Structure 1
């Protein structure tokens, strides 16, 4: 981090001498002076009258002081007409300047040089306006992406005079000017050990201990101290304590969000402040409708950092109002909003609709990080949005070189997870294959494995890479410094190997060694299968008992030799008779019942997830007769009799009745 050390040898404002003013008057005729004052001030402050007025001149306080009229820069001690003016009389005193005009003019300036040139014609300003000028310099530099002030600004006489003024006059500054100046300087990475910041911080600490600072000032001061000193300072604790004593009803929406940001910086102490956070979470429900897109994004980010999982009502309401802000979020803000919704498990169909419109219309201009986060959001929430997926596929085909390996993984995985092929699928996976071939070594092993496994879920089998990922070298890289390869990676490798055997019989390359193969894809923590829903299974079980006559004629949760777990298995002999599940001889056909609850489908759809689709494909290739029993068909049955008739049609569509053998 670049730090700015302000020079300590600046001349003090008190060194201004009256002989400088006399010299200036001597060198510049009175009429010339009046004409110059009128020409510089009247365009911005039309209330200034053209008639003669008393003008007092000050000498420049630094060796180099910018001269707005084009005159040469003069060293200290030489006479020069200063750009700092004071007006005598109540209507021409700087304290009575039209602040609204000042702020309007200040906000129209797009460079620090313009800001300094502008305030150089108006000095000395009231401390609040001077602080705002410093704040504007900070905003301009941040907008340009600068992390430190350019050398030309540091050596600018007006800027140096501004800093000297805040350094020497800190005890007499207003609360607003003090905290605004401190905020601006902290954002500009000024050296915390400079006399300027040491004086401002000391004065701020004194006023906090004395009490009486307004909520807005406390919030600004708290965030500035975090940037300068970190979250562990004693003054920051005192600020948080004082904010807790204030009535939340007196906080403006931006103050509430600032309070979240302060507590976010102290996330390791969240338990200490949880009671206060609960109050803020409840009160924030009333301010959500007044939040700007930036404030909304910041609030959600803080809720994530503070792990406020109990604040779901607030998250839901933020999601409701985020819909209208989607076109107005910056790329980074939208990414933060999506990350928060992923974290809290929130989704909203209106938000999804607005997101579809936004991504479909602007996908080619969206940042790759935003695109990958949008896809991650869809994948995590099982949202199969064809407009989003199609737009993202088009973007990747045209701009694949812009995506990092992690972003490529986050973009491709949802296609496999949600079992969706876009209209340009051939171009998409051809582009992906070329990217992997040319940049294979740039992809971390686990990331590469996730991508290839996702491709296999949608039958885009990565045959050209199988020999590489089954090699001892790749497996050693995959293991890294751990004692063994993680369970999920082993499961993905095993399913890829099973795919090469069942769906790619032409593949004759390297095989996966048995020691890297798992026995079951169904595990508690990292499963490639979705466990059967117990309530749905109970309903089906009752119908099966009625249909088959006894519980002994079907088995539940059967682990096959091929790693898949079958929800219900029924064995038939050559004549179509149902065998007891304990008999293994004379089995001619095996029925594999897939009892599919909503978790096995994309959200609010009847589209199977990729891992369920590949399971059913493989079971069929292994000789099973797969019978799908989806939840939406079971829910339509109104009686037990209808359930039995339904199962009869599903299991034995060609038989009028059903027969079974006694065991």
Structure 2
């Protein structure tokens, strides 16, 4: 029994040493007694001590209880403990005698056709239960198939920084699959190893669990050998980034190996993988700009060969990293996007439109392609994608009756899908419609209702700073300006509207806002030319005003006051003004 206790404790110390080696520094471990967390399965409860050791043996349940007592006594005797709970509350406990078994084979594994068929069926799964059913029906699996299954579970269960159902990790299928990955870690392919590690981070497994420690230590060994491809390095980098953030030695080692290669020698999938990796936060604060510049140069020449996912992914990265100097690449990607407009997914199209708005670019070929495509997608695409389309046309000042009529028609029939659970999406859509002279009166009454305004107040995050508006509404001024402009437009353009009015506290007095204004600012060169001309014509600068706020919240670039006889009055005059 003493040897078993020492063996388990030695394994923990080894795991800790591997993690220190991996990240280049020791992590602070909580003091106090060791707790062996239990993870239930259909066969009963078990703890960490019941798990298979690195040598493949297993500690019996009775010995496990003695081990727990011994560990606690050691902690109390020394006053402090350098051991840490090896599992978090959503970790997976694995057993060699689990009822579910998977055979990961690299020698006599599935054929390429079988892997492709599995991947297609996997993507067709709409719930974790369907993924588990698919796994149970599989015989021999490759490590990439196993990793892909975990990724699909993460796709379906992720909700922000947690899982919708943490209990999914307790499923026998997941436990058995993870157990097999743990036992076969040294025999996994490079691609399967790093993909499995990334999938585990997406499922929020504890980095100190046996599975994670083995995957990380094996990844470190292969990284030291310098045998990984660019795509594999990026996958490993994403996993390390998720575990430790941008400041760790292993991540620096990954970036060193990536920078040792010339971007011009990469394949397109490798180029896209590096863009995606840098977007994760590695290239923040201007880091690796030389590498990015070389990638931009190569991407310009390779853009004509990019598929829809590559075009959208790179444009999204350029926005995230604010690569405003990469306009030649943006222009080329926009040209390539013209070919892919009918083939973009909703998410990809939203990314493309968002990037073009960010960089202020579009061309008539892209607009023509959108005019042909939008009428075919307005009834089937996600409401947020439809909103992004109308925002793009509004922001770029493009009046397209074809697009606007199609969206307006779909909005009438899909109004319920733009529910009050999406207040900002709905407000953006309605506001964009009014900018292009489409007035969806049938939905405005809901927007001005108290329930919608309360929902909007609870979900909107300030574009500039998170603070309470001086109007007492708690909303950002840009949102209040949208509401005000929508309300004024309905009053002026739809006199038959008799629905709720916008409460006064939600109205602004000016649409001219710092940073993000609803009014298009006058061109400085044009304004200076007009100002100089008026000074010469009227004889003095005092005879006209600039940036004059009207009662309708709009700002006049230039205002000239006339008396009843048509003579020009000084701008400061209030009385005797007959016409402005």
Query: Aligned in 2, Cα 1:330/1:394: closer, same or farther, shift over 3 Å?
Result: same
CA contact (8 A) 2:546 2:559 kept: yes
Contiguous gaps of at least 5 residues in structure 2: 1-38, 42-46, 58-94, 123-129, 458-472
Shift in Å, 1:203: 1.5
Larger radius of gyration: 1
Change beyond 3 A, Cα 1:173–1:417:
closer
Structure 2 CA distance for partners of 1:452 and 1:539, relative to 1, 3 Å = closer
1:300 aligns with 2:332: no
1:382 to 372, 389, 397: 397
Question: 1:243: which partner in 2?
Answer: 258
Classify 1:107/1:197 alpha carbon distance in 2 versus 1 (closer, same or farther; 3 Å): same
Measure how far apart 1:402 and its partner are. Answer: 2.5
Matches within 5 A, 1:136-151: 136-142=148-154, 144=156, 147=163
* 1:385-405 alpha-carbon deviations (Å, 9 max, x no partner): 222222222233233332222
> Matches of 1:84 and 1:265 in 2, distance apart?
34
Structure 1 pair 416/224, CA: closer, same or farther in 2 (3 Å)?
Answer: same
**C-alpha distance in 1, partners of 2:288/2:119?**
38
Aligned to 1:531: 522
Structure 1 residue 523 displacement after superposition: 8.3
Q: Which residue of 2 aligns with 1:437?
A: 449
In 2, distance between residues paired with 1:523 and 1:149?
A: 44
Q: Say which SS state the counterpart of residue 286 (structure 1) adopts.
A: helix
| Residues 222 and 467 of structure 1, relative CA distance in 2, 3 Å threshold | closer
Query: Which residue of 2 is the match for residue 491 of structure 1?
Result: 510
Write out aligned runs for 1:126-275 (5 A).
130-142=142-154, 144=156, 147=163, 154-156=171-173, 162-266=177-281, 269-275=284-290
**Distance of 2:219 and 2:572 partners within structure 1:** 84
More moved, 317-326 vs 446-455: 446-455
> For residues 529 and 336 of structure 2, what CA distance do their matches in structure 1 show?
41
Matched, 1:451 2:483: yes
8 Å CA contact 1:113, 1:153 repeated in 2: no
Distance 2:155 2:515 in 1: 48
Q: Distance in 1 between matches of 2:388 and 2:530?
A: 39
Question: Structure 1 pair 180/406, CA: closer, same or farther in 2 (3 Å)?
Answer: closer
Shift of 1:246: 0.8
1:402 match: 417
Matching residue of 1:100: 112
Q: Report the TM-score when normalising by structure 1.
A: 0.59
Tell me the residue number matched to 1:469.
503
* DSSP-derived class of the 2:558 partner: strand
In 2, the alpha carbon distance for the partners of 1:138 and 1:468 equals: 49
Separation in structure 1 between the aligned mates of residue 571 and residue 137 of structure 2, nearest angstrom: 92
Aligned partners of 1:304 and 1:314: how far apart in 2? 12
Q: Deviations over 1:356-407 (max 9, x none)?
A: 2222222122212112222222222112222222222223323333222212
Question: How many angstroms does 1:530 deviate by?
Answer: 4.2
Post-superposition offset of 1:237: 1.4
SS of residue in 2 equivalent to 1:359: helix
Q: Could you say which residue in structure 2 is the equivalent of 1:651?
A: none
1:646 corresponds to: none
In structure 2, what is the Cα distance between the partners aligned to 1:326 and 1:170?
Answer: 42
- Helix, strand or coil for the counterpart of 1:177? helix
Judged with a 3 Å threshold, the aligned counterparts in structure 2 of structure 1 residues 555 and 211 are, in CA distance, closer, same or farther, namely same
Distance 1:347 1:265 in 2: 27
Deviations 1:229-279 (A, max 9, x none): 333332111101110111213322121122112212225634221121111
State the distance in 2 between where 1:285 and 1:374 align: 26
Contact 2:548-2:558 at 8 Å conserved across structures? no
Whole-Å Cα distance in 2 between the matches of residues 400 and 240 of structure 1? 48
> What is the rounded CA distance, in whole Å, between the counterparts of 1:440 and 1:119 in structure 2?
49
User: Structure 1: how far apart are the matches of 2:376 and 2:212?
Assistant: 47
TM (norm. structure 2) is: 0.67
The size of the alignment, in residue pairs, is 459
Q: 2:332 aligns with which of 303, 306, 317?
A: 317
- CA–CA separation in structure 1 for the residues paired with 2:401 and 2:169: 52
Q: Is the 8 A contact 1:417 1:457 kept in 2?
A: no
1:439-477 CA deviation, whole Å, 9 max, x = no partner? Answer: 35434355355234234246236986897633xxx36xx
- Written as runs of structure 1 = structure 2, the 5 A alignment for 1:500-519 is none
Given the superposition, is the C-alpha separation of residues 210 and 466 from structure 1 closer, same or farther in structure 2, using an over 3 Å criterion?
same
Change (3 A) 1:406 1:149: closer
Q: Secondary structure at the match of 1:567?
A: strand
CA distance in 2, matches of 1:392, 1:261: 32
- Output the CA distance in 1 between the equivalents of 2:206 and 2:234: 22
Q: Give SS of 2:379's match.
A: helix
Decide which of 340, 348, 356 is 1:341's aligned counterpart: 356
> Please, which runs of 5 or more residues in structure 1 have no aligned partner?
17-60, 68-82, 87-93, 123-128, 479-488, 493-520, 590-622, 625-663
Decide whether aligned partners of structure 1 residues 567 and 201 sit closer, same or farther in structure 2, where only a CA change above 3 A counts.
Answer: same
Shift of 1:84: 6.5
Contact 2:391–2:432, Cα closer than 8 Å, also in 1: yes
Distance in 2 (CA, whole Å) between partners of 1:336 and 1:533 is: 31
Mapped to 2, the partners of 1:585 and 1:162 lie a distance apart of 81
- Change in Cα spacing, 1:436 to 1:132, as seen in structure 2 (3 Å) is same
Secondary structure of the 2:424 match is: helix
- Measured against aligned partners, the alpha-carbon deviations of 1:591-613 in whole angstroms (never above 9, x if no partner) come to xxxxxxxxxxxxxxxxxxxxxxx
Residue 461 and residue 10 in structure 1: after superposition, are their counterparts in 2 closer, same or farther (change >3 A)? same
1:532-564, Cα deviation, whole Å (9 max, x unpaired): 66448738976996xx7x746994445768565
CA contact (8 A) 2:415 2:443 kept: yes
Q: Which residue among 404, 409, 431 is the counterpart of 1:413?
A: 431
